Structure 1
């Protein structure tokens, strides 16, 4: 009430800064100009599928010697001298524990025509059980190492798209075929089982979850539980506050450690869970569980 036209124009500024009168002048000018016919190219369909892509920092964390959960797949050309040295080293290595039985579950045939070629493949890594596991032999200790990917784990309500989302990683290059992203749950349960008789006896192993806590994550104020139950019932359990951990790329969540034994082997259980808080949680990405010698 009582505002002049110029004041109203100032109150209704165009986002690009033009006033109402300027817009009218532009409209009149455009009406006086002859219209040109333009052929509008057909726009490509909008892709709505969004993939989780880890930062280069995250990949470096995943593949670094200190934190890697899978072997490097870099191909190195061997010269005559290097090849001869490698063949000598391969010949001196003893065959990994139980490797023949493990390779019965390989997704593709393994070249065993020579000891050198066999160790090449074992050091590079072999997928098992339809890419739900990865097996490789550690060069330093000649010990068996494994990753249980997210698909190999028992995740409560994982097949309900309301609560979890599965993210294919076929072109990510970090070795993980598929990730499980938590959309929302108040009852968190992630469990894995593994036969310790596949591990190399006498080696001190570490068991660790690899997860990502996204920037949009919520409901993680309370600590979660991680637990390792060894064959025979011996239990290791502690709490972890994910909010206090480094949130750059993959986060390593230690579960426990043990010395693999040949006589007392059997199935062990690895768990990450939180049942009591009742808080709705979201934004956690499960990569898998790594079982490898302690560094």
Structure 2
């Protein structure tokens, strides 16, 4: 073979080698590009999943915060739904103003309202819902009516002439707001004229555990023709406490005949 032909073969071989090298380089670069793209895609997917997770968490936190805020802003009175089952008329529970003003229960035998300061449940047990010895005997007791500030008419009990004064009431403690110190007071009025009140009357509060608080009240020192409060006692309402508080106003040992006392009822409310 001539020298010229050999030289041509070498050139061809060198060219092919260069082409193979160039091809391998291109393939390597292409694979590297693909791998880098896949890695970027995986990183992007991971970032996307992280963003979704963060957005979900933020949404959950926002929703929870909204519920918490809503629950706090809608701090509803204790057991108010159970209490309002006995309401004398339909109640708009979307507004607390009606609860602050007061709601009649059990055909005006009780009144329920919410104390603005403590947000505690308050009740007035009217005379019609109290147990009054000889209360239905017209020789001894009379049942006139009065107008409340709301212009509603309620019955009150008036002593015509008795020597045995005994008034008892009770109330379910589960309807009272836990964690609040409560007091029970009798709401009464001495008319003018009135007689037979020289001997102090007795008031008593009996708690669900049987503990009693007793005291005496001098009615001679009370103003005439004005509603006054006679404290029976006080107690702390504990969570999940059940039973009844009982309250009494009585005097039958002095033997004197009495006249001129009006009994509106007994208020159970946060201690003032």
**TM-score computed with the length of structure 2 as normaliser:** 0.71
Q: Distance in 2 between matches of 1:159 and 1:98?
A: 33
| Equivalent residue, structure 2, for 1:230 | 207
| Equivalent residue, structure 1, for 2:30 | none
Q: Distance in 2 between matches of 1:175 and 1:238?
A: 33
User: Considering only CA atoms, is the larger Rg found in Structure 1 or Structure 2?
Assistant: 2
Q: Which runs of 4+ in 1 moved over 4 A?
A: 88-91, 170-176
Map 1:122-271 → 2, pairs under 5 A: 122-170=99-147, 177-271=154-248
Q: 1:283 Cα deviation (Å)?
A: 0.5
Unaligned runs of 5+ in 2: 1-68
Does the CA-based 8 Å contact 1:157-1:164 persist in structure 2? yes
Would the alpha carbon gap of residues 176 and 227 (structure 1) be closer, same or farther in structure 2, given more than 3 Å must change? Answer: farther
Q: Distance in 2 between matches of 1:247 and 1:89?
A: 49
Does the CA-based 8 Å contact 2:203-2:232 persist in structure 1? yes
What are the Cα deviations for residues 34-92 of structure 1, in whole angstroms up to 9, with x where unaligned?
xxxxxxxxxxxxxxxxxxxxxxxxxxxxxxxxxxxxxxxxxxxxxxxxxxxxxx99972
| Equivalent residue, structure 2, for 1:53 | none
Q: 1:229 Cα deviation (Å)?
A: 0.3
Q: Distance in 2 between matches of 1:233 and 1:121?
A: 35
- The Cα RMSD (Å) is 2.0
What are the Cα deviations for residues 202-233 of structure 1, in whole angstroms up to 9, with x where unaligned?
10111100100111111000011000001010
Q: Distance in 2 between matches of 1:171 and 1:104?
A: 22
| Equivalent residue, structure 2, for 1:28 | none
Does the CA-based 8 Å contact 2:190-2:223 persist in structure 1? no
SS in 2 for 1:104: helix
Q: Distance in 1 between matches of 2:219 and 2:82?
A: 37
Q: 1:173 Cα deviation (Å)?
A: 5.2
Would the alpha carbon gap of residues 90 and 128 (structure 1) be closer, same or farther in structure 2, given more than 3 Å must change? Answer: farther
| Equivalent residue, structure 2, for 1:272 | 249
Bigger shift: 267-276 or 88-97? 88-97
| Equivalent residue, structure 2, for 1:102 | 83
| Equivalent residue, structure 1, for 2:37 | none
Unaligned runs of 5+ in 1: 1-87
**TM-score computed with the length of structure 1 as normaliser:** 0.65
Give the length in aligned residue pairs.
Answer: 204
